[in-house]
Chain A
Amino acid sequence: MTVDITPDTIVYWQAGPMRLSATLVFTWLVMLLMFLGSWLVTRRLSTGHKLSRGQNLLEVVVGAIQDQIQSVTGQESRRYLPFIGTLFLFIVVSNVLAVVPGFHPPTGSLSTTAALALCVFVAVPVYGIAEHGLVGHLRNYIRPSVFMLPFNVIGELSRTLALAIRLFGNVMSGTMIAAMLLAIAPFFFPVLMQALGLLTGLIQAYIFAILALVYIAAATRAHEPQGPETAAQPGTKGD
Protein backbone atom coordinates (compact mmCIF):
# COMPACT_ATOMS: atom_id res chain seq x y z
CA MET A 1 0.00 0.00 0.00
CA THR A 2 1.47 3.27 -1.00
CA VAL A 3 0.01 6.45 0.37
CA ASP A 4 0.99 9.84 -0.88
CA ILE A 5 1.64 11.75 2.29
CA THR A 6 1.90 15.04 0.50
CA PRO A 7 0.85 16.17 -2.97
CA ASP A 8 4.39 17.51 -3.41
CA THR A 9 5.42 14.02 -4.29
CA ILE A 10 3.09 13.91 -7.27
CA VAL A 11 5.05 15.61 -9.99
CA TYR A 12 3.54 16.16 -13.38
CA TRP A 13 6.42 17.97 -15.01
CA GLN A 14 9.94 18.89 -13.98
CA ALA A 15 12.64 21.10 -15.46
CA GLY A 16 15.63 21.48 -13.19
CA PRO A 17 14.49 22.87 -9.82
CA MET A 18 11.09 23.72 -11.25
CA ARG A 19 8.66 20.98 -10.45
CA LEU A 20 5.02 21.16 -11.43
CA SER A 21 3.62 19.20 -8.50
CA ALA A 22 0.01 18.39 -7.67
CA THR A 23 0.25 21.01 -4.93
CA LEU A 24 0.68 23.76 -7.46
CA VAL A 25 -1.86 22.37 -9.87
CA PHE A 26 -4.56 22.01 -7.23
CA THR A 27 -3.66 25.39 -5.76
CA TRP A 28 -4.27 26.93 -9.14
CA LEU A 29 -7.49 24.98 -9.41
CA VAL A 30 -8.65 26.32 -6.05
CA MET A 31 -7.56 29.82 -7.04
CA LEU A 32 -9.44 29.50 -10.31
CA LEU A 33 -12.59 28.32 -8.55
CA MET A 34 -12.44 31.13 -6.04
CA PHE A 35 -11.74 33.71 -8.70
CA LEU A 36 -14.51 32.45 -10.96
CA GLY A 37 -16.98 32.26 -8.09
CA SER A 38 -16.16 35.77 -6.97
CA TRP A 39 -16.21 37.18 -10.46
CA LEU A 40 -19.48 35.52 -11.40
CA VAL A 41 -21.22 36.77 -8.29
CA THR A 42 -19.73 40.23 -8.02
CA ARG A 43 -20.05 41.26 -11.67
CA ARG A 44 -23.70 42.04 -11.04
CA LEU A 45 -24.05 43.26 -7.49
CA SER A 46 -27.26 44.66 -6.16
CA THR A 47 -27.47 47.40 -3.59
CA GLY A 48 -31.23 47.17 -3.26
CA HIS A 49 -33.45 44.72 -1.43
CA LYS A 50 -33.29 41.89 -3.93
CA LEU A 51 -30.10 39.86 -3.65
CA SER A 52 -28.91 36.98 -5.72
CA ARG A 53 -28.15 33.79 -3.78
CA GLY A 54 -24.46 34.02 -4.56
CA GLN A 55 -24.25 37.62 -3.43
CA ASN A 56 -26.14 36.73 -0.29
CA LEU A 57 -23.73 33.87 0.45
CA LEU A 58 -20.63 35.98 -0.19
CA GLU A 59 -22.03 38.82 1.89
CA VAL A 60 -22.70 36.45 4.77
CA VAL A 61 -19.17 35.01 4.53
CA VAL A 62 -17.45 38.37 4.20
CA GLY A 63 -19.65 39.85 6.93
CA ALA A 64 -18.81 36.96 9.27
CA ILE A 65 -15.08 37.37 8.61
CA GLN A 66 -15.36 41.11 9.24
CA ASP A 67 -17.21 40.47 12.50
CA GLN A 68 -14.53 38.02 13.64
CA ILE A 69 -11.76 40.46 12.80
CA GLN A 70 -13.63 43.20 14.59
CA SER A 71 -14.25 41.14 17.70
CA VAL A 72 -10.68 39.78 17.92
CA THR A 73 -8.73 42.92 17.12
CA GLY A 74 -11.21 45.53 18.24
CA GLN A 75 -10.04 47.54 15.27
CA GLU A 76 -11.35 48.49 11.89
CA SER A 77 -11.62 45.25 9.88
CA ARG A 78 -10.97 46.68 6.41
CA ARG A 79 -7.18 46.60 6.53
CA TYR A 80 -7.01 42.95 7.69
CA LEU A 81 -9.84 41.62 5.59
CA PRO A 82 -7.95 40.81 2.36
CA PHE A 83 -5.12 38.97 4.08
CA ILE A 84 -7.01 37.16 6.82
CA GLY A 85 -10.04 36.54 4.63
CA THR A 86 -7.96 35.05 1.84
CA LEU A 87 -6.10 32.80 4.29
CA PHE A 88 -9.33 31.51 5.71
CA LEU A 89 -11.14 31.09 2.40
CA PHE A 90 -8.21 29.41 0.68
CA ILE A 91 -7.76 26.90 3.48
CA VAL A 92 -11.49 26.28 3.76
CA VAL A 93 -11.96 25.69 0.05
CA SER A 94 -8.91 23.43 -0.12
CA ASN A 95 -9.97 21.42 2.90
CA VAL A 96 -13.62 21.12 1.86
CA LEU A 97 -12.68 20.00 -1.63
CA ALA A 98 -10.71 17.17 -0.04
CA VAL A 99 -13.92 15.15 -0.01
CA VAL A 100 -13.90 15.15 -3.80
CA PRO A 101 -12.31 11.90 -4.97
CA GLY A 102 -9.06 12.51 -6.76
CA PHE A 103 -8.60 15.95 -5.26
CA HIS A 104 -5.38 16.53 -3.35
CA PRO A 105 -5.82 19.48 -1.02
CA PRO A 106 -2.84 21.85 -1.35
CA THR A 107 -3.02 22.47 2.38
CA GLY A 108 -1.89 18.85 2.82
CA SER A 109 1.52 19.95 1.55
CA LEU A 110 4.03 21.26 4.07
CA SER A 111 5.32 23.57 1.36
CA THR A 112 1.93 25.24 1.13
CA THR A 113 1.35 25.54 4.87
CA ALA A 114 4.93 26.76 5.28
CA ALA A 115 4.32 29.30 2.53
CA LEU A 116 1.16 30.51 4.29
CA ALA A 117 2.97 30.62 7.64
CA LEU A 118 5.77 32.51 5.97
CA CYS A 119 3.27 35.03 4.67
CA VAL A 120 1.94 35.45 8.21
CA PHE A 121 5.50 35.69 9.49
CA VAL A 122 6.14 38.54 7.07
CA ALA A 123 2.73 40.14 7.50
CA VAL A 124 3.12 40.57 11.26
CA PRO A 125 6.05 43.00 11.06
CA VAL A 126 4.59 44.63 7.95
CA TYR A 127 1.37 45.50 9.77
CA GLY A 128 3.29 46.37 12.92
CA ILE A 129 5.65 48.72 11.13
CA ALA A 130 2.75 50.23 9.22
CA GLU A 131 1.06 50.89 12.53
CA HIS A 132 3.93 51.96 14.79
CA GLY A 133 6.85 52.55 12.48
CA LEU A 134 10.03 50.48 12.36
CA VAL A 135 11.42 51.55 15.73
CA GLY A 136 8.11 51.24 17.46
CA HIS A 137 7.71 47.72 16.09
CA LEU A 138 11.23 46.60 16.96
CA ARG A 139 10.76 47.92 20.45
CA ASN A 140 8.16 45.21 20.94
CA TYR A 141 10.92 42.58 20.99
CA ILE A 142 12.56 44.08 24.08
CA ARG A 143 9.37 44.22 26.08
CA PRO A 144 8.97 43.92 28.98
CA SER A 145 12.84 43.99 29.26
CA VAL A 146 15.76 43.61 26.91
CA PHE A 147 16.40 40.14 28.30
CA MET A 148 13.25 38.95 26.69
CA LEU A 149 14.62 39.65 23.20
CA PRO A 150 15.85 36.09 22.48
CA PHE A 151 12.64 34.57 23.80
CA ASN A 152 10.56 36.93 21.74
CA VAL A 153 12.54 36.09 18.61
CA ILE A 154 12.34 32.38 19.31
CA GLY A 155 8.61 32.73 20.01
CA GLU A 156 8.13 34.52 16.74
CA LEU A 157 9.88 31.79 14.79
CA SER A 158 8.38 28.89 16.67
CA ARG A 159 4.83 30.07 16.33
CA THR A 160 5.31 30.41 12.61
CA LEU A 161 6.67 26.91 12.49
CA ALA A 162 3.81 25.68 14.66
CA LEU A 163 1.32 27.39 12.37
CA ALA A 164 2.71 25.57 9.36
CA ILE A 165 3.07 22.20 11.03
CA ARG A 166 -0.37 22.33 12.67
CA LEU A 167 -2.26 22.83 9.47
CA PHE A 168 -0.16 20.42 7.49
CA GLY A 169 -0.42 17.74 10.14
CA ASN A 170 -4.16 17.99 10.49
CA VAL A 171 -4.93 17.98 6.79
CA MET A 172 -2.35 15.37 5.95
CA SER A 173 -3.53 13.11 8.76
CA GLY A 174 -7.16 13.47 7.68
CA THR A 175 -6.30 12.51 4.11
CA MET A 176 -4.15 9.60 5.28
CA ILE A 177 -6.76 8.30 7.68
CA ALA A 178 -9.35 8.40 4.93
CA ALA A 179 -7.03 6.53 2.58
CA MET A 180 -6.10 3.96 5.14
CA LEU A 181 -9.70 3.34 6.20
CA LEU A 182 -10.66 3.03 2.56
CA ALA A 183 -8.14 0.20 2.30
CA ILE A 184 -9.17 -1.50 5.54
CA ALA A 185 -12.94 -0.99 5.61
CA PRO A 186 -14.19 0.33 2.32
CA PHE A 187 -17.78 0.79 3.52
CA PHE A 188 -19.24 3.40 5.83
CA PHE A 189 -16.14 4.27 7.87
CA PRO A 190 -14.44 6.32 5.16
CA VAL A 191 -17.60 8.38 4.82
CA LEU A 192 -17.64 9.09 8.52
CA MET A 193 -13.98 10.04 8.43
CA GLN A 194 -14.58 12.25 5.40
CA ALA A 195 -17.32 14.07 7.30
CA LEU A 196 -15.00 14.39 10.26
CA GLY A 197 -12.37 15.65 7.85
CA LEU A 198 -14.72 18.38 6.66
CA LEU A 199 -15.23 19.51 10.24
CA THR A 200 -11.52 19.37 10.99
CA GLY A 201 -10.72 21.25 7.82
CA LEU A 202 -13.10 24.06 8.75
CA ILE A 203 -11.76 24.21 12.30
CA GLN A 204 -8.20 24.27 11.06
CA ALA A 205 -8.94 27.07 8.64
CA TYR A 206 -10.57 29.00 11.44
CA ILE A 207 -7.64 28.36 13.80
CA PHE A 208 -5.07 29.33 11.20
CA ALA A 209 -6.84 32.55 10.31
CA ILE A 210 -7.56 33.48 13.92
CA LEU A 211 -3.98 32.80 14.99
CA ALA A 212 -2.62 34.88 12.12
CA LEU A 213 -5.02 37.60 13.10
CA VAL A 214 -3.97 37.40 16.73
CA TYR A 215 -0.29 37.65 15.81
CA ILE A 216 -0.91 40.65 13.60
CA ALA A 217 -3.18 42.26 16.18
CA ALA A 218 -0.51 41.69 18.83
CA ALA A 219 1.97 43.52 16.64
CA THR A 220 -0.39 46.42 15.93
CA ARG A 221 -1.64 46.70 19.52
CA ALA A 222 1.80 46.37 21.13
CA HIS A 223 1.10 48.47 24.15
CA GLU A 224 -1.57 46.23 25.49
CA PRO A 225 -0.40 42.75 24.59
CA GLN A 226 -2.38 40.77 27.17
CA GLY A 227 -5.66 41.08 25.22
CA PRO A 228 -4.66 39.31 22.00
CA GLU A 229 -2.48 36.80 23.78
CA THR A 230 -5.29 35.61 26.01
CA ALA A 231 -7.62 35.56 23.05
CA ALA A 232 -5.21 33.24 21.29
CA GLN A 233 -5.30 30.64 24.01
CA PRO A 234 -8.56 28.86 23.11
CA GLY A 235 -7.46 28.53 19.49
CA THR A 236 -4.18 26.90 20.32
CA LYS A 237 -5.72 24.47 22.71
CA GLY A 238 -7.93 22.85 20.11
CA ASP A 239 -5.38 20.74 18.29
Chain B
Amino acid sequence: MQIDWFTLIAQVVNFLVLVWLLQRFLYGRIVRAMDEREAHIASRLEEASRLRAETEREATEYRSQKLALEEQREQVLLRSREQAEAQRQQLIDEARREIENMREQWLDALQQEKKQFFQDFREKIGQQVVMIVRRALHDLASVELQEPMTNSFLDRLEKLEPSGRQVMVDAIRASEREVEIRSAFPMNSRMRERIIQALRDHLDDGVAVRFEVEPALGCGIELHAHAQRLAWNLNSYLEGLEDAFVQELQNKAMEHGAQQQSNSGQQQWTAPVRP
Protein backbone atom coordinates (compact mmCIF):
# COMPACT_ATOMS: atom_id res chain seq x y z
CA MET B 1 0.00 0.00 0.00
CA GLN B 2 1.65 3.09 -1.21
CA ILE B 3 0.83 6.35 -2.78
CA ASP B 4 1.43 6.57 -6.49
CA TRP B 5 2.39 10.17 -6.94
CA PHE B 6 1.54 10.29 -10.61
CA THR B 7 -1.92 8.94 -9.87
CA LEU B 8 -2.27 11.38 -6.99
CA ILE B 9 -1.49 14.37 -9.17
CA ALA B 10 -3.67 13.04 -11.92
CA GLN B 11 -6.51 12.56 -9.45
CA VAL B 12 -6.10 16.12 -8.21
CA VAL B 13 -6.34 17.31 -11.78
CA ASN B 14 -9.25 14.98 -12.41
CA PHE B 15 -11.01 16.29 -9.34
CA LEU B 16 -10.51 19.90 -10.36
CA VAL B 17 -11.77 19.10 -13.83
CA LEU B 18 -14.76 17.38 -12.33
CA VAL B 19 -15.42 20.41 -10.10
CA TRP B 20 -15.33 22.62 -13.17
CA LEU B 21 -17.54 20.26 -15.19
CA LEU B 22 -20.12 19.94 -12.48
CA GLN B 23 -20.09 23.64 -11.78
CA ARG B 24 -20.61 24.20 -15.49
CA PHE B 25 -23.21 21.52 -16.18
CA LEU B 26 -24.84 20.80 -12.85
CA TYR B 27 -24.75 23.29 -10.01
CA GLY B 28 -24.94 26.45 -12.04
CA ARG B 29 -27.87 25.30 -14.12
CA ILE B 30 -29.74 23.53 -11.38
CA VAL B 31 -29.35 26.36 -8.90
CA ARG B 32 -30.37 28.86 -11.55
CA ALA B 33 -33.45 26.80 -12.40
CA MET B 34 -34.31 26.47 -8.72
CA ASP B 35 -33.89 30.20 -8.20
CA GLU B 36 -36.04 30.95 -11.19
CA ARG B 37 -38.69 28.59 -9.95
CA GLU B 38 -38.55 30.12 -6.51
CA ALA B 39 -38.87 33.57 -8.00
CA HIS B 40 -41.71 32.29 -10.16
CA ILE B 41 -43.45 30.75 -7.18
CA ALA B 42 -42.89 33.89 -5.13
CA SER B 43 -44.33 36.00 -7.89
CA ARG B 44 -47.23 33.58 -8.21
CA LEU B 45 -47.81 33.76 -4.48
CA GLU B 46 -47.60 37.49 -4.55
CA GLU B 47 -49.99 37.56 -7.47
CA ALA B 48 -52.28 35.18 -5.63
CA SER B 49 -52.25 37.30 -2.50
CA ARG B 50 -52.83 40.41 -4.57
CA LEU B 51 -55.70 38.69 -6.37
CA ARG B 52 -57.07 37.50 -3.10
CA ALA B 53 -56.98 40.97 -1.64
CA GLU B 54 -58.60 42.28 -4.77
CA THR B 55 -61.21 39.53 -4.65
CA GLU B 56 -61.95 40.30 -1.02
CA ARG B 57 -62.26 43.97 -1.83
CA GLU B 58 -64.57 43.15 -4.73
CA ALA B 59 -66.55 40.75 -2.58
CA THR B 60 -66.99 43.46 0.03
CA GLU B 61 -68.01 45.87 -2.66
CA TYR B 62 -70.45 43.38 -4.12
CA ARG B 63 -71.88 42.66 -0.72
CA SER B 64 -72.48 46.31 -0.08
CA GLN B 65 -73.90 46.70 -3.57
CA LYS B 66 -76.16 43.73 -2.97
CA LEU B 67 -77.37 45.23 0.28
CA ALA B 68 -78.01 48.54 -1.43
CA LEU B 69 -79.84 46.78 -4.25
CA GLU B 70 -81.98 44.85 -1.81
CA GLU B 71 -82.83 48.02 0.02
CA GLN B 72 -83.64 49.72 -3.25
CA ARG B 73 -85.72 46.75 -4.27
CA GLU B 74 -87.67 46.92 -1.03
CA GLN B 75 -88.29 50.59 -1.58
CA VAL B 76 -89.38 50.02 -5.15
CA LEU B 77 -91.67 47.21 -4.04
CA LEU B 78 -93.15 49.36 -1.33
CA ARG B 79 -93.67 52.21 -3.75
CA SER B 80 -95.20 49.85 -6.30
CA ARG B 81 -97.54 48.45 -3.68
CA GLU B 82 -98.61 51.91 -2.67
CA GLN B 83 -99.12 52.92 -6.30
CA ALA B 84 -101.03 49.72 -7.01
CA GLU B 85 -103.23 50.32 -3.97
CA ALA B 86 -103.85 53.91 -5.02
CA GLN B 87 -104.60 52.84 -8.57
CA ARG B 88 -106.87 50.08 -7.33
CA GLN B 89 -108.74 52.56 -5.18
CA GLN B 90 -108.95 54.95 -8.09
CA LEU B 91 -110.23 52.24 -10.41
CA ILE B 92 -112.77 51.15 -7.83
CA ASP B 93 -113.92 54.75 -7.45
CA GLU B 94 -114.10 55.18 -11.20
CA ALA B 95 -116.01 51.92 -11.54
CA ARG B 96 -118.39 53.04 -8.80
CA ARG B 97 -118.87 56.37 -10.48
CA GLU B 98 -119.40 54.70 -13.79
CA ILE B 99 -121.86 52.24 -12.33
CA GLU B 100 -123.64 55.12 -10.63
CA ASN B 101 -123.76 57.01 -13.93
CA MET B 102 -124.97 53.97 -15.77
CA ARG B 103 -127.52 53.34 -13.10
CA GLU B 104 -128.72 56.90 -13.28
CA GLN B 105 -128.82 56.77 -17.06
CA TRP B 106 -130.63 53.50 -16.89
CA LEU B 107 -133.07 54.90 -14.36
CA ASP B 108 -133.53 57.97 -16.52
CA ALA B 109 -134.06 55.81 -19.57
CA LEU B 110 -136.42 53.65 -17.60
CA GLN B 111 -138.26 56.66 -16.36
CA GLN B 112 -138.35 58.02 -19.87
CA GLU B 113 -139.56 54.73 -21.21
CA LYS B 114 -142.13 54.48 -18.51
CA LYS B 115 -143.24 57.97 -19.20
CA GLN B 116 -143.37 57.29 -22.88
CA PHE B 117 -145.20 54.07 -22.26
CA PHE B 118 -147.75 55.80 -20.09
CA GLN B 119 -147.97 58.61 -22.62
CA ASP B 120 -148.60 56.17 -25.40
CA PHE B 121 -150.94 54.26 -23.19
CA ARG B 122 -152.88 57.37 -22.35
CA GLU B 123 -153.05 58.45 -25.92
CA LYS B 124 -154.12 55.00 -26.87
CA ILE B 125 -156.77 55.01 -24.17
CA GLY B 126 -157.94 58.45 -25.27
CA GLN B 127 -158.01 57.37 -28.87
CA GLN B 128 -159.77 54.18 -27.94
CA VAL B 129 -162.35 56.02 -25.88
CA VAL B 130 -162.93 58.53 -28.62
CA MET B 131 -163.08 55.80 -31.18
CA ILE B 132 -165.57 53.88 -29.13
CA VAL B 133 -167.66 56.98 -28.70
CA ARG B 134 -167.31 57.78 -32.34
CA ARG B 135 -168.30 54.29 -33.32
CA ALA B 136 -171.18 54.34 -30.92
CA LEU B 137 -172.40 57.63 -32.29
CA HIS B 138 -171.79 56.41 -35.80
CA ASP B 139 -173.82 53.35 -35.08
CA LEU B 140 -176.51 55.47 -33.53
CA ALA B 141 -176.49 57.96 -36.42
CA SER B 142 -179.39 57.61 -38.80
CA VAL B 143 -181.68 59.56 -41.03
CA GLU B 144 -183.77 60.37 -38.04
CA LEU B 145 -180.84 61.89 -36.28
CA GLN B 146 -180.19 63.96 -39.33
CA GLU B 147 -182.88 66.40 -38.45
CA PRO B 148 -181.67 67.54 -35.04
CA MET B 149 -178.27 67.83 -36.52
CA THR B 150 -179.65 70.00 -39.28
CA ASN B 151 -181.33 72.09 -36.65
CA SER B 152 -178.10 72.56 -34.84
CA PHE B 153 -176.37 73.49 -38.11
CA LEU B 154 -179.06 76.04 -38.94
CA ASP B 155 -178.83 77.36 -35.39
CA ARG B 156 -175.17 77.80 -35.77
CA LEU B 157 -175.67 79.53 -39.09
CA GLU B 158 -178.02 81.90 -37.48
CA LYS B 159 -175.75 82.72 -34.64
CA LEU B 160 -172.75 83.28 -36.91
CA GLU B 161 -170.71 86.36 -36.04
CA PRO B 162 -170.97 89.20 -38.56
CA SER B 163 -167.32 88.88 -39.49
CA GLY B 164 -167.71 85.16 -39.98
CA ARG B 165 -170.85 85.70 -41.93
CA GLN B 166 -169.03 88.19 -44.18
CA VAL B 167 -166.28 85.69 -44.79
CA MET B 168 -168.80 83.11 -45.81
CA VAL B 169 -170.64 85.57 -48.07
CA ASP B 170 -167.35 86.44 -49.76
CA ALA B 171 -166.58 82.83 -50.22
CA ILE B 172 -170.03 82.15 -51.73
CA ARG B 173 -169.55 84.95 -54.12
CA ALA B 174 -166.12 83.78 -55.02
CA SER B 175 -167.61 80.41 -55.89
CA GLU B 176 -170.11 81.92 -58.23
CA ARG B 177 -172.92 81.58 -55.65
CA GLU B 178 -172.72 77.83 -55.49
CA VAL B 179 -172.21 76.02 -52.27
CA GLU B 180 -172.02 72.37 -51.39
CA ILE B 181 -173.74 70.78 -48.43
CA ARG B 182 -172.25 67.44 -47.32
CA SER B 183 -173.94 65.03 -45.00
CA ALA B 184 -173.51 61.43 -44.01
CA PHE B 185 -177.00 60.48 -44.97
CA PRO B 186 -179.19 61.74 -47.79
CA MET B 187 -181.53 64.50 -46.71
CA ASN B 188 -185.26 64.65 -47.37
CA SER B 189 -186.68 67.45 -49.33
CA ARG B 190 -188.11 69.29 -46.35
CA MET B 191 -184.75 69.51 -44.76
CA ARG B 192 -183.20 70.55 -48.01
CA GLU B 193 -185.77 73.31 -48.30
CA ARG B 194 -185.07 74.51 -44.82
CA ILE B 195 -181.36 74.63 -45.44
CA ILE B 196 -181.73 76.44 -48.76
CA GLN B 197 -184.12 78.89 -47.16
CA ALA B 198 -181.76 79.51 -44.23
CA LEU B 199 -178.82 80.06 -46.49
CA ARG B 200 -180.70 82.47 -48.62
CA ASP B 201 -181.93 84.31 -45.55
CA HIS B 202 -178.66 84.65 -43.74
CA LEU B 203 -175.99 84.60 -46.40
CA ASP B 204 -177.01 85.18 -50.00
CA ASP B 205 -180.42 85.13 -51.45
CA GLY B 206 -179.28 83.86 -54.85
CA VAL B 207 -177.21 81.00 -53.71
CA ALA B 208 -177.41 77.63 -55.46
CA VAL B 209 -177.05 74.60 -53.27
CA ARG B 210 -175.73 71.20 -54.19
CA PHE B 211 -176.24 68.28 -51.77
CA GLU B 212 -173.67 65.52 -51.45
CA VAL B 213 -173.59 62.39 -49.33
CA GLU B 214 -170.32 61.76 -47.46
CA PRO B 215 -170.57 58.64 -45.27
CA ALA B 216 -167.16 59.31 -43.71
CA LEU B 217 -168.55 62.37 -42.13
CA GLY B 218 -170.35 60.30 -39.46
CA CYS B 219 -172.69 62.69 -37.75
CA GLY B 220 -172.91 66.21 -38.98
CA ILE B 221 -173.37 68.62 -41.85
CA GLU B 222 -170.75 70.62 -43.67
CA LEU B 223 -171.00 73.65 -45.94
CA HIS B 224 -168.26 74.16 -48.47
CA ALA B 225 -167.94 77.40 -50.43
CA HIS B 226 -164.80 78.11 -52.35
CA ALA B 227 -162.13 77.60 -49.65
CA GLN B 228 -164.38 78.17 -46.67
CA ARG B 229 -166.20 75.62 -44.59
CA LEU B 230 -168.99 75.87 -42.09
CA ALA B 231 -169.71 72.67 -40.28
CA TRP B 232 -171.48 71.10 -37.41
CA ASN B 233 -170.47 67.55 -36.63
CA LEU B 234 -169.56 65.26 -33.81
CA ASN B 235 -165.91 65.10 -34.85
CA SER B 236 -165.15 68.54 -33.57
CA TYR B 237 -166.66 67.62 -30.20
CA LEU B 238 -164.86 64.35 -30.12
CA GLU B 239 -161.52 65.91 -30.95
CA GLY B 240 -161.98 68.35 -28.11
CA LEU B 241 -162.94 65.46 -25.89
CA GLU B 242 -159.84 63.52 -26.87
CA ASP B 243 -157.60 66.46 -26.15
CA ALA B 244 -159.19 67.09 -22.78
CA PHE B 245 -159.09 63.42 -21.91
CA VAL B 246 -155.42 63.04 -22.78
CA GLN B 247 -154.58 66.21 -20.88
CA GLU B 248 -156.31 65.02 -17.80
CA LEU B 249 -154.64 61.60 -17.94
CA GLN B 250 -151.24 63.23 -18.32
CA ASN B 251 -151.78 65.42 -15.33
CA LYS B 252 -152.67 62.43 -13.26
CA ALA B 253 -149.71 60.44 -14.54
CA MET B 254 -147.27 63.22 -13.79
CA GLU B 255 -148.53 63.48 -10.24
CA HIS B 256 -148.19 59.73 -9.86
CA GLY B 257 -144.68 59.73 -11.43
CA ALA B 258 -143.40 62.46 -9.12
CA GLN B 259 -144.67 60.59 -6.12
CA GLN B 260 -143.07 57.36 -7.30
CA GLN B 261 -139.69 59.03 -8.02
CA SER B 262 -139.50 60.40 -4.52
CA ASN B 263 -140.22 56.93 -3.19
CA SER B 264 -137.61 55.28 -5.40
CA GLY B 265 -134.97 57.90 -4.44
CA GLN B 266 -135.33 56.86 -0.84
CA GLN B 267 -134.86 53.18 -1.72
CA GLN B 268 -131.90 53.76 -4.02
CA TRP B 269 -129.55 51.01 -2.78
CA THR B 270 -131.85 48.69 -0.99
CA ALA B 271 -134.26 47.72 -3.76
CA PRO B 272 -133.57 48.29 -7.41
CA VAL B 273 -136.55 49.53 -9.38
CA ARG B 274 -138.08 47.07 -11.76
CA PRO B 275 -140.06 48.22 -14.75
Partner of A24, one of B11, B27, B33: B11
Partner of A31, one of B17, B29, B31, B32: B17
Which stretch, B1-9, B101-109, B136-144, B251-259, touches the partner chain A?
B1-9
Q: Are B34 and A119 in contact (CB-based, < 8 A)? A: no
Minimal beta-carbon separation of A121 from chain B (angstroms): 11
Contact with B along A39-78 (1 / 0, CB 8 A): 1001001111000000100110011001000000000001
Interface membership of A152, Cβ < 8 A:
no
> Which B20-44 residues have C-beta < 8 A from chain A?
21-23, 25-27, 29-34, 36-37, 40
Dominant SS among interface residues on chain B: helix
Q: Are A116 and B11 in contact (CB-based, < 8 A)? A: yes
Q: Are A45 and B12 in contact (CB-based, < 8 A)? A: no
Partner of A112, one of B7, B19, B21, B36: B7
Interface membership of B237, Cβ < 8 A:
no
Known: A6-B1, A38-B21, A83-B19. A62 touches B27 (CB 8 A): yes
Residues of A within 8 A of B21 (CB): 31, 34-35, 38
Residues of B within 8 A of A23 (CB): 4, 7, 11
Partner of A118, one of B12, B25, B30, B37: B12
Interface membership of B80, Cβ < 8 A:
no
Number of A-B contacts (CB under 8 A): 122
Complex Cα spacing A97 to B30, Å: 24
Q: Which residue of B lies closest to A30 (CB)?
A: B18
Q: Are B29 and A111 in contact (CB-based, < 8 A)? A: no
Interface membership of A170, Cβ < 8 A:
no
Residues of A within 8 A of B3 (CB): 110-111, 114
Partner of A109, one of B7, B9, B27: B7
Q: Are B18 and A81 in contact (CB-based, < 8 A)? A: no
Interface size on B, residues (CB 8 A): 33
Residues of A within 8 A of B23 (CB): 82, 86
Complex Cα spacing A48 to B27, Å: 18
Interface membership of B15, Cβ < 8 A:
yes
Partner of A8, one of B7, B14, B27, B40: B7
Q: Are B7 and A24 in contact (CB-based, < 8 A)? A: yes
Residues of A within 8 A of B5 (CB): 17, 111
Q: Which residue of B lies closest to A119 (CB)?
A: B15
Q: Are B33 and A55 in contact (CB-based, < 8 A)? A: yes
Q: Which residue of B lies closest to A83 (CB)?
A: B19
Known: A5-B1, A115-B8. A28 touches B14 (CB 8 A): yes
Question: Residues of A with Cβ closer than 8 Å to B?
Answer: 5-6, 8, 17-19, 21, 23-24, 27-28, 31, 34-35, 38-39, 42, 45-48, 55, 58-59, 62-63, 66, 78, 81-83, 85-86, 89-90, 106, 109-112, 114-116, 118-119
Question: Residues of B with Cβ closer than 8 Å to A?
Answer: 1-12, 14-19, 21-23, 25-27, 29-34, 36-37, 40
The 8 A-B residue pairs whose C-beta atoms are closest, nearest first, are A115-B11, A111-B7, A38-B26, A42-B29, A47-B36, A38-B25, A82-B23, A45-B33
Apart from A8-B7, A34-B21, A62-B34, what are 14 other A-B pairs with CB-CB below 8 Å?
A: A5-B1, A8-B4, A21-B7, A23-B4, A24-B7, A27-B11, A27-B14, A31-B17, A46-B33, A59-B30, A63-B34, A85-B26, A115-B7, A115-B12
